[in-house]
Chain A
């Protein structure tokens, strides 16, 4: 059955079940993911370009999209810097508590976003453990874009660490020895030999953290304060439009966000392809 299924499409194999497995996987993906997403894009298309443009360039929508993108960019950049330092420390140094620290990295993947959201708010609110220290300094974290950025740092960190870690582990120490024996200072070796080799992985992690941050909802809405034009993120605006039964608005904003995510995903794939070509992996 499977053999007749696709003479030209599939290489012959002794194993059975190709048709069943592929058929089930495609049907499942189609029904759960692809058709529902396509239905949203179709509905957005039915608004016409003018209608779609009018909604997405409405000042409140633009402000929300801009806020989501800017805070996500800042958070992903901070994660890229500290993520590399953390990956470096975990791979290169031996110190007590290292394995515990390594296990903690995945906490944001395991902790439900709503829990992270209320916990961060409790810490950074003006009367919170950290917020009460920052308040006298005139730094308002909770209920401001800074709070949003902190939540996005929380959820994005593991993406960078977990992408950089395996590449750093595989990195050939002989290249470092060669650089050092040719007279390079340690800083030269790090900045001109090691970091360039890690760069594609860092960029991939950055892209993944960014893509996740742009769509993030649960950990942000508690700490954001959700003031229109100031601290209202795009996913929240979708929820607000839905609650107002403005389905067209929700659809257009959702589709705009989907396009942004795809652009980011495409960027990550380009980097990965470039990485493969460059390092022959």
Chain B
């Protein structure tokens, strides 16, 4: 009270000038809280992966990541991402073209349907395909008679991965393309370019960095997905095990060093992803969607 009363007389920074920041002890405290929280909850787990991975030594580390089952898991993970990510790129471009360039009824419903997979548990994303294509599923008997296997095989893993990664590309493209409007495309068309040519020569270059941004996030999730894939995979070693599933199997066998060795590859993927993401945010701030600019 008294301090506030005499402050104007002293011309103190507290009352004389207009105060729109906190005093330094408060600032230091808040920064400290934020740093400690992030260290404890985010950075320490990342560090733990690396420490545990090399605990048994470099030799054991390289044996764990070059062992045939581990290599099969890496191959499967890459293959699944190589199918799921392009599928979601095509979907993202189509959805963004319709939503951002046209006015139609039901647009906002479509826009929120795209985000739907984010609010569905990954386990449910796996479950629904088991219910459709599993031995006891709706199409199970038919598929069995045709000798087609979807669940506990590659197609099921790909479907579950696509499900959980559907929104990533679209939600980067939609807001940016809405912001950009339709003038560029209209100019191109009026100069005689075809629709496809306009799309590939005008629209796509306009959104390329936002597209890349969405793709790297989509790819990180596709390669790292665990719950959905775990339900449809069947955990057949060397065959239907992706990298995260391989980590789980090794961990449950108490082969911790090997589990963390494979996990460290996924952690590296996460770091590369974050690095590219931040680089895009800094370098191409104007060419990615507004909510991503820092």
A residues whose Cβ falls under 8 Å from a Cβ of B: 6, 8-11, 13-18, 20-22, 24-26, 28-29, 32-34, 36-37, 39-40, 43, 82, 85-86, 88-90, 92-93, 95, 97, 99, 101-116, 118-120, 122-123, 129-130, 150, 153-154, 157, 165-166, 173, 176-177, 180-181, 185-186, 189, 211-212, 214-218, 222, 235-236, 238-239, 242, 245, 247, 250-251, 254, 257-258, 261-262, 264-265, 269
Cβ-defined contact, B124 with A257, below 8 A: yes
Cβ-defined contact, A101 with B35, below 8 A: yes
CA distance A141 to B244 in the complex (A): 24
CA distance A130 to B30 in the complex (A): 23
Chain B residues with Cβ below 8 Å from A218 are 122, 226-227, 230, 244
- Rank and list the top 4 A-B pairs by shortest CB-CB distance, nearest first: A215-B121, A112-B224, A218-B226, A217-B227
B-side interface size class: 35 or more
Cβ-defined contact, B31 with A102, below 8 A: no
Of A107, A112, A129, the contact of B274 (CB 8 Å cutoff): A107
Sample of 14 A–B contacts (CB below 8 Å): A10-B105, A11-B103, A20-B94, A29-B95, A110-B271, A112-B243, A113-B224, A114-B266, A115-B244, A120-B45, A180-B18, A218-B244, A235-B121, A258-B124
Cβ-defined contact, B20 with A40, below 8 A: no
Given the known A-B contacts A109-B220, A245-B136, are A257 and B121 also in contact in the complex, defined by CB atoms under 8 Å? yes
Given the known A-B contacts A10-B104, A114-B263, are A154 and B119 also in contact in the complex, defined by CB atoms under 8 Å? no
Given A180-B20, A185-B4, 18 additional A-B pairs, CB 8 A: A18-B104, A29-B166, A40-B124, A86-B38, A105-B42, A106-B274, A109-B217, A112-B224, A112-B226, A129-B48, A150-B41, A157-B41, A215-B120, A215-B122, A247-B130, A251-B127, A257-B121, A269-B112
Given the known A-B contacts A11-B104, A15-B185, A235-B123, are A85 and B34 also in contact in the complex, defined by CB atoms under 8 Å? yes
Cβ-defined contact, A101 with B38, below 8 A: yes
CA distance A247 to B138 in the complex (A): 12
Cβ-defined contact, B127 with A250, below 8 A: yes
Of A11, A33, A103, A258, the contact of B113 (CB 8 Å cutoff): A33
Cβ-defined contact, B128 with A36, below 8 A: yes
CA distance A165 to B41 in the complex (A): 19
Any A CB within 8 A of the CB of B64 = no
Cβ-defined contact, B20 with A176, below 8 A: yes
Chain A residues with Cβ below 8 Å from B94 are 20-22, 24-25, 28
B226 to chain A: closest CB distance in Å? 4
Cβ-defined contact, B34 with A122, below 8 A: no
Q: For chain B residues 242-267, which have a beta carbon within 8 Å of chain A?
A: 243-245, 247-248, 251, 256, 259-260, 263, 266-267
CA distance A166 to B49 in the complex (A): 32
Chain B residues with Cβ below 8 Å from A105 are 38, 42
Cβ-defined contact, B114 with A82, below 8 A: no
Q: What residue in chain A is nearest B103 (Cβ atoms)? A: A11
CA distance A99 to B52 in the complex (A): 27
Given the known A-B contacts A32-B162, A258-B120, are A37 and B104 also in contact in the complex, defined by CB atoms under 8 Å? no
Of B23, B116, B195, B267, the contact of A115 (CB 8 Å cutoff): B267
Cβ-defined contact, A239 with B123, below 8 A: yes
Cβ-defined contact, A111 with B52, below 8 A: no
Of B19, B112, B117, the contact of A180 (CB 8 Å cutoff): B19
Any A CB within 8 A of the CB of B231 = yes
Cβ-defined contact, B38 with A21, below 8 A: no
Q: What residue in chain A is nearest B133 (Cβ atoms)? A: A36
Cβ-defined contact, A235 with B42, below 8 A: no
Cβ-defined contact, A37 with B267, below 8 A: no
Q: What residue in chain B is nearest A26 (Cβ atoms)? A: B110
Cβ-defined contact, B95 with A21, below 8 A: yes
Chain B residues with Cβ below 8 Å from A180 are 18-20
Chain A residues with Cβ below 8 Å from B190 are 14
